[in-house]
């Protein structure tokens, strides 16, 4: 990774949770497609996306890639019960900024600081909630339901106030790998939702949700926990006002 710096300035506008770790953070800027941590590497750091987008991927023995998580600003990752990472995380957006925290130092600080320990547990629970939301999306019966649920979840995670418009941070190829579908199926599903008047498309990544109730009634209910969406909105508001 490039542009590495020990700097609290890049974290100044971030949510205040875990701000006690700012002094040991290493802030790094990544280009599109750059690996942040690799599957099978020693799990020596925990991470947080401070701006941009990252994807967590698992490589199958036959060479296929499965995206198992999308990481947005404020999301922590790198937690594992093993001594090595069980997946690879790559930057999706150009100039994605990631803060890394030495795992052993964080654990030592948490042992003597109950508040920090509680905050770490909270971000771990949030990581588990994101994975649960992903499982709920994959559990939809039809491809169109999966795509619709994905759009609702992204609207919840990305929107500060309005939940009707979402600028998708990943390509349709990445959406396909995230949902376990072909890119052709993703495109057909988006077209179907558009023809039914449930969404409007503006370019390859901008989506406006026209009929949220119809999306939800069709089985594409929002899989992302409401309290996490509300917390993200509060964190963003706090960061913008600080």
Residue 1, pLDDT above cutoff 50: no
Which of 172, 175, 167, 145 minimizes the C-alpha distance to 67? 175
End position of a domain, from candidates 135, 163, 183 = 135
For all residues of the chain together, what is the average pLDDT? 83
CATH code of the domain in which 217 resides: 1.10.10.10
Residues in the chain: 242
Answer for the pair 211, 148: CB distance below 8 angstroms, yes or no. Answer: no
- CATH for 43: 2.60.120.10
Domain boundary among 135, 164, 185: 135
Point out which residues pair with 77 in neighbouring strands.
47
pLDDT at 229 over 60: no
pLDDT of 237 = 43
- Residues 7, 139: Cα–Cα separation, whole Å: 42
Domain boundary among 135, 170, 192: 135
38-93: pLDDT as tens digits: 999 999 999 999 999 999 999 888 878 889 999 999 999 999 888 999 999 999 99
| Helices vs. strands in the chain: H and E counts, helices first | 7, 12
Question: What pLDDT digit, counting tens, does each position of 145-197 carry?
Answer: 999 999 998 888 886 656 688 889 999 999 999 999 999 999 999 999 999 99
Residue 107 has pLDDT above 50, yes or no: yes
Structure tokens at 72: 């947005």
pLDDT at residue number 163: 66
Average pLDDT over residues 216-226: 55
Same domain, 122 and 147: no
Residue 238 has pLDDT above 70, yes or no: no
> Is 0.75 topped by the overall pTM?
yes
**Is residue 199 located within the same domain as residue 219?**
yes
The token duo for 180 is: 């376990």
């Amino acid at each position: 990774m490039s542009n590495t710096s020990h700097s609290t300035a890049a974290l100044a506008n971030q949510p205040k949770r875990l701000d006690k770790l700012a002094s040991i953070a290493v802030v790094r800027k990544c280009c599109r497609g750059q690996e942040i941590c690799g599957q099978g590497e020693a799990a020596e750091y925990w991470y947080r996306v401070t701006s941009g987008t990252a994807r967590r991927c698992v490589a199958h023995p036959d060479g296929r890639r499965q995206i198992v998580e999308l990481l947005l600003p404020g999301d922590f990752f790198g937690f594992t019960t093993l001594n090595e990472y069980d997946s690879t995380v790559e930057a999706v957006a150009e100039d994605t900024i990631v803060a890394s925290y030495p795992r052993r130092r964080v654990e030592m600080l948490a042992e003597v600081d109950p508040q920090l320990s509680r905050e770490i547990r909270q971000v771990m629970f949030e990581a588990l909630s994101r994975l649960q939301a992903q499982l709920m999306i994959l559990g939809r019966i039809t491809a169109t339901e999966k795509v619709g649920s994905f759009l609702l979840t992204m609207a919840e995670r990305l929107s500060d106030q309005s939940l009707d418009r979402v600028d998708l941070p990943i390509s349709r190829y990445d959406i396909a790998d995230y949902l376990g579908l072909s890119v052709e199926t993703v495109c057909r599903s988006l077209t179907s939702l558009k023809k039914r008047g449930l969404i409007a498309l503006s370019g390859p990544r901008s989506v406006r949700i026209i009929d949220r109730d119809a999306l939800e009634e069709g089985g594409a209910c929002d899989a992302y926990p409401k309290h996490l969406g509300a917390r993200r909105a509060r964190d963003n508001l706090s960061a913008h006002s600080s």
